[in-house]
Amino acid sequence: MTALPGAGEEAATPQLTREALVTAALRILERDGVNGLSMRRLAAELGVKAASLYWHVRNKEQLLDLLTDALMADAVPPPRRGSWRDQLREYGLRHRSHLLGRRDAAKVVAGRLAPGPHLLRLMEDQLDRLREAGFSDADAAQINYLLGAYVHGFVLQEITPLSAAEAAGTGRAEVARAAGDQLRGLPADRYPNLVDLADDLTTPTMDERFAFGLERLLDGLAVLLEQARAAAPEAADPEQEPTHE
């Protein structure tokens, strides 16, 4: 019915392609979230039956791998200006807001190995900046993983209750207030600190929490860099040479 060639439709390539699968999947993901993305719905979106998808894709897992790379396609690294610290902070902030920007992206990406070409380009770029900042090869590699893990982990952590709350129809301000009330209602003899710090524990927004952790991480990296510079002061910083001993 839909497949018969009408006046002058696309008779040349009316077929599904792997790319068509992915872009349709992206559309469904944005519209219905990761729970709404089933093989049957994806097939329906393409005017096709579910079994047909398996001609183009081995299974759903592989589709999600492709989707992961597609989600990373339009992530842009920050401008190459400012200190290494500014650049890394911007990296983290952008990475997080990129993941938060497309619905359930973090859930799809979560822990998926086999990084696609787009993620590889970001890694390549970040490693370059880390080495240029003066980190050792081993440290640069570790830091590269660390920052990715921090961002992914944090976002994953914040996204799950977020979607649970919106499923229940409650705003995040209400959730925070409810959490505060719960903490304040605890027995003060068994949980004195939780009761005492109920406000401090519940008022920070996720943005602030993320920024706080990121800043601590950057402080730690600065310490590492200083230590490395102090231990081996020959590299690229020819100011003085304390060659005693």
Partner DNA sequence: GACTCTCCCTAACGGTGTTAGGTGGCCCGG
Partner DNA sequence: CCGGGCCACCTAACACCGTTAGGGAGAGTC
Q: Which residues bind DNA (CB under 7 A)?
A: 3, 5, 11, 14-16, 37-41, 43, 47-52, 54-56, 59-61
What are the DSSP calls for 160-216, one per residue?
HHHHHHHHHT--HHHHHHHHHHHHHTS-TTT-HHHHHTHHHHHSS-HHHHHHHHHHH
Nearest approach, Cβ of residue 209 and DNA (Å): 30
Q: In Å, how far are 31, 125, 201, 220, 221 from 216, measured between CA atoms?
A: 36, 23, 18, 6, 9
Contacting a second copy (CB under 8 A), which of 56, 85, 131, 177?
131
Angle of helix 137-168 versus helix 117-133 axis, rounded to 10: 130
Q: How far is the CB of 69 from DNA (least distance, A)?
A: 18
Burial label for 141, CB within 10 Å (0-12, 13-18, 19+), is middle
Q: Is position 158 an interface residue for a second copy (rule: CB under 8 A)?
A: yes
Minimum distance from CB of 23 to DNA (Å)?
A: 15
31 CB-near residues (< 8 Å, 6+ apart): none
Q: Which stretch binds a second copy (CB under 8 A): 20-28, 51-59, 219-227, 233-241?
A: 219-227
In whole angstroms, give the CA distance from residue 215 to residue 85.
9
Selected binder of a second copy within 52, 142, 228, 233 (CB under 8 A): 142
**Segment near a second copy (CB under 8 A); pick from 38-46, 51-59, 208-216, 235-243:** 208-216
Partner whose footprint covers residue 161, from a second copy, DNA, none (CB < 5 to 8 Å by kind): a second copy
Q: Which of 50, 51, 73, 149 touches a second copy (CB under 8 A)?
A: 149
- Residue 59 interacts with a second copy (CB under 8 A)? no
Determine the distance from the C-alpha atom of residue 80 to the mean position of all C-alpha atoms in its chain, rounded to a whole number.
Answer: 21
Contact 150, 216 (CB under 8 A): no
CB-nearer residue toward DNA: 109 or 147 = 109
Shortest Cβ 186–DNA spacing (Å): 29
Which residue's entry shows tokens 């047909």? Answer: 52
65 sits near a second copy (criterion: CB under 8 A): no
CB 221 within 8 A of CB 143: yes
| Site residues, a second copy (CB under 8 A) | 110-113, 120-121, 123-124, 127-128, 131, 137-138, 140-146, 149-150, 152-154, 156-161, 164, 175, 179, 186, 190-194, 196-197, 200-201, 204, 208-209, 212-213, 215-224
